[in-house]
Amino acid sequence: MELKPIDTKSRIEAVDALRGFALLGILIANIPFAGESIIAGKLDSVMTFLWHLLIDKKFISIFSMLFGFGFYIQMKRAEEKNVNFIKYYTIRMLLLFAIGTLHAFIIWNGDIIRAYAFGGIALLFIRKWSVKRLLITALLFSIFLTTIVFIGNSEFGWRVYNYDYALANELPITTSYFRYFTINAIMDPWVNFLQDMPITLVFTFGNILIGFIMAKVDFFLLPEKLNKLTTFLIIQGITIGFAGSYIYNKIISGEIELDQSLMWVPFVVVAGMISQSIMYISVFLRLYKRNVFKKVLLFFTLVGRTSMSNYIFQSVFYLFVFFHCTMTLQLFGKLTIAETFLIGVLFYLLQSGLTYLWLKNRNQGPLEKIWKGLSYRMAKSKQNSEFKIVRKNNCISNSSSTTINNTLSKNYNKVKQNIKNTRTYLSFKISSTFYSWTISQIQYLKFVTEKIHKK
């Protein structure tokens, strides 16, 4: 059997809605505004505070957790259909990394997709761990390692760039797209890997693991048995979460200056941000179970079903509406923060309308269709080529080699059932395949030799 795009009826509607809600938050979090050079507005200080308190880092965390959920769903479907998940998902992640690279260089350098591809590959190696072991690893990455890297970057000068920092100010206002592309290439986080990517990768991977764990315990289905847990997570998010975000705003605004006596503060901030993100998820899912709120939250479902296409579309929106290199609206530096956020909300409404029209006669977004279609075809093509090689080897083997291969196959299946460790399984499969190929070649040489002697 083979994997195919999941049909609309099989999707978990609440997760699609949650993913669409996360994309609204990501749009507001990433929307470009000009910092100190912005046109002053009466609500700017309030909007900046609310942005740090409610939005910044929270929705991208939710999006990352939902990526972990998606990994779990793909894994279970592959197991049900007896598909080689490792091969298929590796191809899928390599294609995702390629899409992210194009996105970062051509459209917008704030891409997170490549970090997801990296995290997806890493998750393959630990996907069979127990929930307890996964949870410890998730907390290690998302809180402890993230905070350590943050302290190293801010206090010990780990993040030192080889390019002029002024390029960041030039990027949104350059009127040359070639110059825009060049700056993107210079400032790309993966080009400046040691400076930019450690904190992104550990934080993102930790959140992906949290989402994977939530999927394993059926958190997104919100069964009755998890009511006490979600209540606890909501209380924790409201207390520790908002407290951490409030302190984060104080640090960003310069009201709190971190020194050695306050090295514990970043741990609270990061833990608070993750708690707040999980609290958002818990509240959303609880509200979704109530028909009164479900009718409203269903609005986010369509955008959530086409999350990759709409995520990239948001970057195109930044490029053509705000940045100057496209010579279109060039709104960067011409709006207050409140006006900028309002433009973002209006664009999300436009996205929702366009997505509705697109999905009228389709079941997935344009980029999803290309990405998943290529993944399925490449995985299937590789599987077919392996089958042809095996078939060819079988054709040239005589009865003795058939007996040997049958014995090998029986032993292989017995050992395969007892092997749980992924890396051991892969090594064993490679060794077995090589052994089988060697036997067939020996039998072939024997067959040729006998023919020669007969002549």
Contacts 24+ apart (CB under 8 A), 236-242: 236/275, 236/278, 236/279, 237/275, 237/276, 237/277, 237/278, 237/279, 237/280, 237/282, 238/279, 240/268, 240/271, 240/272, 240/275, 241/272, 241/273, 241/275, 241/276, 241/277, 241/279, 242/53, 242/272, 242/276
- The residue-averaged pLDDT of 42-63 equals 94
Q: pLDDT tens digits, residue range 301-335? A: 999 999 999 999 999 999 999 999 999 999 998 99
Percent of the chain with pLDDT over 90: 70
The answer, yes or no, to whether residue 111 has pLDDT greater than 90, is yes
Q: Side-chain half-sphere of 237: how many Cα atoms within 13 Å?
A: 20
**Residue 434: what pLDDT?**
42
Closest C-alpha to 413, from 402, 405, 403, 401? 405
Average pLDDT in the chain: 86
Of the candidate ranges 154-158, 291-295, 345-349, the one whose mean pLDDT is the lowest: 154-158
Whole-angstrom Cα distance, residue 316 to residue 326? 10
CB within 8 A of 31, min separation 6: which ones?
318, 322, 340, 341, 343, 344
Task: Reply yes or no on whether the pLDDT at 222 is more than 80.
Answer: yes
Nearest CA-CA partner of 86 in 124, 115, 54: 124
**Residues sharing a CB contact under 8 Å with residue 46, sequence separation 6 or more, in sequence order:** none
- Residue percentage of the chain with pLDDT more than 70: 80
The model's confidence at residue 417, banded by pLDDT at 50, 70 and 90, is low
Q: Say which DSSP state 35 is in.
A: G
Confidence band, pLDDT 50/70/90 cuts, at residue 55: very high
Tens digits of per-residue pLDDT, 138-193? Answer: 999 999 999 999 999 988 889 999 999 899 999 999 999 999 999 999 999 999 99
**145 Cβ contact partners less than 8 Å away, ≥ 6 residues apart:** 202, 206
Confidence label for 43 from pLDDT (cuts 50, 70 and 90): confident
> 352: part of which helix (H) or strand (E)?
helix 337-358
pLDDT at 416 over 80: no
Contact 256, 269 (CB under 8 A): no
- Which structure tokens are listed for 434? 């090589």
pLDDT on residue 304:
97
* C-alpha to C-alpha distance for 214 and 134, rounded to whole angstroms: 11
Which pLDDT value is given to residue 224?
A: 84
Q: Quickly state the pLDDT bin for 232 (edges 50, 70, 90).
A: very high
C-alpha to C-alpha distance for 67 and 210, rounded to whole angstroms: 10
Identity of the highest mean pLDDT range in 75-89, 125-139, 405-419: 125-139
What pLDDT, on the 0 to 100 scale, is given for residue 420?
46
65 pLDDT higher than 90: yes
Least confident of 47-56, 78-87, 202-211, 406-415: 406-415
pLDDT at 4 over 60: no
The predicted model gives 403-418 an average pLDDT of 48
Q: Which range is least confidently modeled, 109-118, 187-196, 270-279, 406-415?
A: 406-415
Q: Is a pLDDT exceeding 60 seen at residue 207?
A: yes
Over range 61-79, report the average pLDDT: 96
Rounded to an integer, the average pLDDT of 220-238 is 93
Cα 430 to Cα 437: distance, rounded to the nearest angstrom: 11
Q: Which residue has the higher pLDDT, 377 or 272?
A: 272
Q: Across the chain, how many H-helices and E-strands are there?
A: 20, 0
What pLDDT score does 184 carry?
Answer: 96
pLDDT for 98 equals: 97
Nearest to 68 by CA among 25, 119, 16: 119
Residue 1's pLDDT is 53
Cβ-Cβ contacts under 8 Å for 269 (sequence gap 6 or more)? 244, 245, 247, 248, 251
**Chain centroid offset of residue 294 CA:** 26
